Structure 1
Amino acid sequence: MRHPNGWVSQLNTRLLPYFAASFTIALVLAVIWTLERSEKKQFLDQTRGDVLNKISTTRARLEVALNQRLFVTRGILAYVSTINANLTQQEFERLASVVAPQQEGTEFLALYKNGIVSHIYPLKGNEKAIGFNPMSIPEEREAFQRAIDTRSTVFAGPVKLVPKGNWGFISRTPIFLTPPDKPPESGPNWGLVSIGFDRDTLFKEAGLFDQSAELQYVIRGKDALGTSGEVFFGNPNILKQNPVLLEVTLPNGSWQLAAIPTAGWPTSAPISRWLWIGGTLVALLAGALVFILVSAPERLREAVRRATAALQASENALKEANEELETRVEERTAQLAQANQEITTLNDLLKAENVRMSAELEVTRRLQQMILPKDEELKSIVGLEIAGFMEPATEVGGDYYDVLQSNNGRVKIGIGDVTGHGLESGVLMIMVQTAVRTLLEGNETDPRKFLDILNRTIYQNVQRMGSDKNLTLSLLDYCDRRLSLSGQHEEMIIVRSGGEIERIDTLDLGFPIGLEADIIDFVTHTEVQLQPGDVVVLYTDGITEAENINQAQYGIERLCEVLTRHWQQPAQEIRQAIMEDLRQYIGDQQVYDDITLLVLKQK
């Protein structure tokens, strides 16, 4: 009879191969599980990084689209505050028709003078809104009062817009007047300016409906209340699925923009399936090999022990390599996230600044074009044929010309050139036009006093702006075939009937405007008698200093040659002949200065 311990020993010997094979299989599968988990985490981090990049782009487009629409009100606010606080409905419609159509989805622009709707665009279909007092509605009263008290924009929505009934947003900005010699908007409250625009048009422009992005979006923060506001776009359940979150900045608050992939977050990496298939095969092969080795005679057991030790060492090395890989992936992911955030922030700042400056330049350029004399005004001047042309070198030019007629029949003609280009030069040009019209309406007829008052006005404004801009300016008074010329600018060319050229130098007739506070001692004037058929040409240095491909200037002599050949033609055709010759001379060369031309012909 065998001893029980012998049976146990024999039983252990028989079971040992199975135990060793099972342990080997389990060990290999554990390693595969660790690798698969690492791949899954890395793939999930990569997916979140992709979603962050896409939602960052969407947020940037959304903020740009919002700022473009809200900046429309800034241009109107500046016009009412500093230029014309008593504009009529017709003037408001003309101004709004320039800026509003640039932004798709704009439903209305409105002015609330003293809290009551006084101006609206478009007027058609909104006539009943004129005279409406929103202060009679508690919710509206609170929003209006908050905008005035905080002196900032109040943004609301989405709300239903009338009369269409579509969903949209409304922005209300208070208007404070700018008293003379006072800081901007430091005066009393005039009222508010408001803009309403369509929600879906805004979201489409931002890309929220773009299915190719393969994202599900949700936005919360109705009425700019941020995370405490209601969800007004997308499925609220997305917020429970660990989305990527970004803040959309608004004038008086924010929205929270969230997104997840359309198919949801991945539950495994693309390589997981093949990793498990390959790992299972390796585990089975390793288990079979161990089973054979353990089942072999005693001389093979030493080899089994060595193989086991080697396998253990490989496992430890694999774990260490995997841990090091995870650490590197986490560090690299953090670096990429930080870099992406910095790039996104800089991109947002650059886009916002670009939108702001583009909108300012566009508003100023439109205002410049609006105040130029119209063809019907020029045709109404008795005794003269007049043809004008102005082309800025950039979005906003610094050249000025105008033809104004007073109630007593006198005609004031002006031409000037502000130093430089861009926004400041364009604003100074508008100031000069406004000052000339104001003095003309005030019946100031003395040319020396006229230029002296004009200069002091511009000089004070330039000092307030902290600008170094100034301009050359010549003013002509025309009445009964007689021209009175004052002010310093380019030479005035006269072509007498018969083709004889006269050139009048204006250097001693004045002084640059806005450079010194008092120029009365430098200002004088000269008079010219015109005969039927005489031609007077005024221009800026953008014509005479234009260069061809050999960097040779066009020059006043060539300009006089063109006039000698075409002086007998009508004013419009003379202007066309000069411009065609100038463009032929310049060729494909870039134009670096504004071009302005004014042709007068005595009937």
Structure 2
Amino acid sequence: MQSAINVLNTRSAETDATEKEKPRSAPHRMRALLIEDSPGDVRLLEHMLSVTGDNVFEVEHVERLKAGMARLAEGGISVVLLDLSLPDSHGLETFTQLHAFAPRVPIIVLSGLDDTALAVEAVHEGAQDFLVKGQVDGQLLVRAMRYAIERKRLTEQLGRYAEELRSKNAQLEADFNMAREIQEIFLPQQYPTFPHSVAPEQSAIRFSHRYLPAAAVGGDFFDIFAITDSTAGVFICDVMGHGLRAALVTAIMRGLVEELMPVAADAGKFLTEINRSLHAILRRTKEPFLATACYMVADVAAGELRFASAGHPSALRIQRGAGLTEPLKNIDPRHGPALGLFAKPLYPTCRCPLAPHDLILLFTDGIYEVEDANHEEYGQERLLAAVRQHSSLPADQLFDKLLEDVQHVSGGKEFEDDVCLVAMEIERVSGLS
């Protein structure tokens, strides 16, 4: 055993000796270009670099700016030491010319003048450092050169990251723009007429809307469609949040609305089936999603409005003939929960009569969830008061007045949530051909 240990010790000693004999690899040397016309300053700078013991920089020397540019054009220079007073250039312009010629090479300005204003201006223009001759030693010079190279590397890296970010933002903006265009296509491009054969101005039911997304794309959605020649379906919903995620859910909503046209005459069943399908889809997502909604069926042949609500703000009925404006919840307060929360809730169908010149106003909460300077919410009561004040106006003018009033209260601030207004005006309730 002892002999084996002796052998191991001998081999270890031989290995150590061999390792000591191996020449160490020379450190990677970087080329520094010194542009200086004073022989004395050149010798001094070369001496300062030689006595530091740091053999990292190999210095090349030229005396004129033009010669420096020619050398930089060949490549391989890691850092430039630049005197501002040269035979073919003088002052800060010396730096600006060289920096414009080789913007990717870090430049340290060397000056015989201790001029703070000049130093600040040079650094502002892009110099990595400003050193005063006679106030710098070898260690400081080497450190400045190392730091200049590293700062330039980091600056270029940040520049690449910024360019990548700009590119990705541009792509994201393009995606949002396309999403907005698609979402606008999803909204009704024209309204149905009742009966379908008449011109819009002769329709028994007329429609108007105003849609203001808070972001490039929104989470509010509505649809208007004909069920029969005397029956219209109006659907409005507000998906939680706004932006791209909410817009994706509104796209799902549109598909569900089209899919469930066979039950569109039954307001409660229509919402029940939308909820069932939406819950089955959204329960697989990691984050909870919900949407408030209201669906109504206007039957002008029967003179009746049938409606169901899924936690949505109550629509307003303006009875112009009677001079009354009231929320539909005052007529029948029954409603179900927001869509997507539960698998099998019930959505009761409520009813109220329709008369000629009635206007039904549907809206999302973005119109009244704005605050004044005292952080007091505009609120549904103030909205109801504004509607009553302007109830005699046509729908489009009513929208203008409501938005104007809300903007006045909020001090002209942009809406923080999507805003959707839909109006249904009843022109007549019988005599359809």
Q: 2:227–2:264: 8 Å Cα contact kept in structure 1?
A: no
Indicate yes or no: 2:309 matched with 1:487: yes
| Number of aligned positions between the proteins | 318
Q: 1:360–1:423: 8 Å Cα contact kept in structure 2?
A: no
Match of 2:222 in 1: 401
Match of 2:272 in 1: 452
Structure 1 residues 134-162: Cα deviation after superposition (integer angstroms, max 9, x where no partner): xxxxxxxxxxxxxxxxxxxxxxxxxxxxx
SS in 2 for 1:394: coil
Structure 1 letter corresponding to 2:415? V
Structure 1 residues 106-165: Cα deviation after superposition (integer angstroms, max 9, x where no partner): xxxxxxxxxxxxxxxxxxxxxxxxxxxxxxxxxxxxxxxxxxxxxxxxxxxxxxxxxxxx
Structure 1 residues 527-586: Cα deviation after superposition (integer angstroms, max 9, x where no partner): 121011222111111222222223232233333333333333332233233223222332
Match of 1:363 in 2: 178
Q: 1:40–1:269: 8 Å Cα contact kept in structure 2?
A: no
Match of 1:328 in 2: 143
* CA distance 1:555–1:565, change in 2 (3 Å): same
Structure 1 residues 202-255: Cα deviation after superposition (integer angstroms, max 9, x where no partner): xxxxxxxxxxxxxxxxxxxxxxxxxxxxxxxxxxxx9xx5499xxxxxxxxxxx
Match of 1:347 in 2: 162
Distance 1:349 1:557 in 2: 49
Superposed, 1:275-354 pairs within 5 Å as 324=139, 327-354=142-169
Structure 2 letter corresponding to 1:360? D
Q: Which of 232, 240, 254 matches 1:433?
A: 254
Match of 2:360 in 1: 536
Unmatched 5+ stretches in structure 2: 1-37, 47-58, 90-132, 194-199, 428-433
SS in 2 for 1:508: coil
Distance 1:357 1:526 in 2: 44
Structure 1 letter corresponding to 2:219? G
Q: 1:474–1:487: 8 Å Cα contact kept in structure 2?
A: yes
Structure 2 letter corresponding to 1:404? F
Match of 2:282 in 1: 462
Distance 1:47 1:461 in 2: 65
Distance 1:274 1:364 in 2: 58
Deviation of 1:499 (Å) = 1.3
Indicate yes or no: 2:324 matched with 1:509: no
Distance 2:403 2:85 in 1: 69
* CA distance 1:369–1:323, change in 2 (3 Å): same
Match of 1:232 in 2: none
Indicate yes or no: 2:208 matched with 1:384: no
Q: 2:368–2:406: 8 Å Cα contact kept in structure 1?
A: no
Structure 1 residues 14-49: Cα deviation after superposition (integer angstroms, max 9, x where no partner): xxxxxxxxxxxxxx95874685966659x99x989x
Q: 2:263–2:270: 8 Å Cα contact kept in structure 1?
A: no
Indicate yes or no: 2:292 matched with 1:472: yes
Q: 2:313–2:364: 8 Å Cα contact kept in structure 1?
A: yes
Indicate yes or no: 2:416 matched with 1:602: no
Unmatched 5+ stretches in structure 1: 1-27, 52-237, 245-265, 276-317
* CA distance 1:585–1:40, change in 2 (3 Å): same
TM-score relative to the length of structure 1? 0.46
Distance 1:381 1:598 in 2: 20
Distance 2:181 2:285 in 1: 21
Distance 1:365 1:31 in 2: 65
Indicate yes or no: 2:87 matched with 1:273: yes
Match of 1:498 in 2: 322
Q: 2:209–2:423: 8 Å Cα contact kept in structure 1?
A: yes
Distance 1:485 1:407 in 2: 17
Structure 1 residues 70-108: Cα deviation after superposition (integer angstroms, max 9, x where no partner): xxxxxxxxxxxxxxxxxxxxxxxxxxxxxxxxxxxxxxx
* CA distance 1:602–1:409, change in 2 (3 Å): closer
Q: Where is the helix percentage greater, Structure 1 or Structure 2?
A: 1
Distance 1:483 1:550 in 2: 39
* CA distance 1:555–1:328, change in 2 (3 Å): closer
The alignment's C-alpha RMSD in Å is 3.9
SS in 1 for 2:334: helix
Distance 1:368 1:487 in 2: 23
Structure 2 letter corresponding to 1:389? R
Deviation of 1:330 (Å) = 3.8
Indicate yes or no: 2:392 matched with 1:571: no
Deviation of 1:274 (Å) = 8.2
Match of 2:50 in 1: none
SS in 2 for 1:331: helix
Deviation of 1:504 (Å) = 2.3
Deviation of 1:387 (Å) = 1.5
* CA distance 1:31–1:571, change in 2 (3 Å): closer
* CA distance 1:396–1:274, change in 2 (3 Å): closer
Structure 2 letter corresponding to 1:471? A
